[in-house]
């Protein structure tokens, strides 16, 4: 089965890893959120693409839950000794990727080209596509004023209540080469259990992507990020409450609207009304869990195809 998955970072990468190891999948393309991308200390940082590259090449740090494993922190120690910003941690191994990417982009390569090159060098078989090679920046309007994504997520630890989310540059961004084709040519399209408002909405805001999801003959299945009415990690359920929504699958299905055809949700939560759905245990801890959840989502896709 030819599968395309739309994903953010850590939560989404678990499903993508499961798909990579699923016997049902013959080819896999991951279209990745770049709304979290930012420049820091002159470096081009793409947190969700990095998470995919690390996770699929076995370099992710399982204990920390983000970034690259076996970290040493000489760079951060030197930076802090000079009074440099300490709020965004960059391990020495992470820094290698960021410096290399920044140099390649400065030479004129696109983010797609740089990402494909990293994936090839690290032996990753699935295709990893940024949603766009054009800059898109997620901003949050909060009770503490407007915050750029990383300032909200990392510096402020998601504390300020969110009133609205917007994606600067999205209206003018073009889907990266291959994105629309991957959605139209797939046998099944999955939306990973990434944060719908922060990780999936930027993808849907790039003109052409939501239309391709509605147009494709492939069933589009969302995997819910809720387990027992709460996000497994991160601010999804907190944000839903701040936006005046119930933290349930009905609200997530209503948010996605006509772009999805079905939802895989955790057995501890109610199914969304009026939408084909399948219940399963969706907590992905081990690799076997990830493959099982991937297979459950593809089984659901098969029933709505």
* Residues binding ligand GDP (CB under 6 A): 8-12, 14, 48, 51, 193-195, 199, 223-225, 227, 231-234, 236, 282-284
Look up residue 174 and give its two tokens. Answer: 């073009």
In the complex, the smallest distance separating the C-beta of residue 127 from ligand GDP, rounded to whole angstroms, is 18
In the complex, the smallest distance separating the C-beta of residue 12 from ligand GDP, rounded to whole angstroms, is 4
Nearer to ligand GDP, 8 or 104 (CB): 8
Nearer to ligand GDP, 165 or 223 (CB): 223
Nearer to ligand GDP, 199 or 216 (CB): 199
Closest to 193 (Cα-Cα) out of 249, 137, 129, 257: 249
Contact 225/198 with Cβ under 8 angstroms?
no
In the complex, the smallest distance separating the C-beta of residue 49 from ligand GDP, rounded to whole angstroms, is 11
In the complex, the smallest distance separating the C-beta of residue 198 from ligand GDP, rounded to whole angstroms, is 6
d(CA 31, CA 128): 6
Please report where in the chains the tokens 């839903």 appear, as a residue. Answer: 240
Nearer to ligand GDP, 195 or 216 (CB): 195
In the complex, the smallest distance separating the C-beta of residue 61 from ligand GDP, rounded to whole angstroms, is 13
Q: Give the start-end residues of each E strand in the chain.
A: 2-7, 27-32, 38-40, 43-45, 127-130, 137-142, 145-148, 162-168, 188-191, 220-223, 226-227, 230-231, 262-266, 277-280
Nearer to ligand GDP, 79 or 283 (CB): 283
Residue nearest ligand GDP, Cβ-based: 11
Q: What count of other Cβ atoms lies within 10 Å of the Cβ of residue 142?
A: 20
In the complex, the smallest distance separating the C-beta of residue 223 from ligand GDP, rounded to whole angstroms, is 6
Contact 162/239 with Cβ under 8 angstroms?
yes
Nearer to ligand GDP, 21 or 80 (CB): 21
d(CA 304, CA 273): 16
d(CA 180, CA 175): 7
In the complex, the smallest distance separating the C-beta of residue 226 from ligand GDP, rounded to whole angstroms, is 6
User: Cα torsion at 39, 40, 46, 47 (round to 10°)?
Assistant: -140
Nearer to ligand GDP, 32 or 104 (CB): 32
d(CA 212, CA 28): 17
d(CA 132, CA 252): 24
């Amino acid at each position: 089965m030819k599968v395309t998955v739309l994903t953010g970072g850590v939560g989404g990468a678990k499903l993508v890893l499961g798909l990579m190891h699923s016997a049902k999948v013959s080819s896999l393309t991951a279209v990745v959120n770049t709304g979290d991308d930012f420049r820091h200390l002159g470096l081009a940082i793409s947190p969700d693409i990095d998470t995919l590259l690390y996770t699929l090449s076995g370099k992710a740090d399982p204990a920390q839950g983000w970034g690259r494993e076996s970290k040493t922190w000489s760079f951060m120690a030197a930076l802090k000794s000079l009074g440099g910003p300490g709020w965004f941690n960059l391990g020495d191994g992470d820094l290698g990727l960021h410096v290399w990417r920044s140099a390649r982009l400065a030479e004129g390569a696109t983010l797609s080209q740089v990402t494909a090159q990293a994936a090839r060098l690290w032996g990753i078989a699935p295709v990893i596509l940024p949603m766009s090679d054009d800059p898109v920046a997620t901003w949050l309007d909060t009770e503490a004023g407007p915050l750029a994504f990383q300032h909200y997520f990392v510096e402020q630890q998601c504390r300020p209540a969110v009133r609205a989310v917007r994606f600067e540059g999205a209206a003018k961004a073009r889907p990266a080469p291959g994105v629309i084709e991957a959605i139209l040519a797939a046998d099944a399209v999955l939306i990973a259990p990434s944060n719908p408002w922060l990780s999936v909405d930027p993808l849907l805001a790039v003109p052409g992507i939501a239309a391709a999801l509605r147009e494709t003959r492939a069933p589009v299945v969302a995997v819910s990020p809720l387990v027992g009415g709460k996000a497994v990690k991160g601010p999804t359920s907190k944000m839903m409450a701040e936006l005046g929504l119930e933290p349930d699958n009905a609200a997530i299905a209503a948010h996605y609207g006509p772009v999805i055809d079905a939802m895989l949700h955790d057995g501890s939560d109610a199914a969304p009304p009026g939408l084909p759905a399948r219940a399963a245990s969706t907590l992905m801890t081990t690799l076997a869990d990830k493959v099982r959840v991937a297979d459950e989502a593809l089984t659901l896709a098969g029933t709505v195809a």
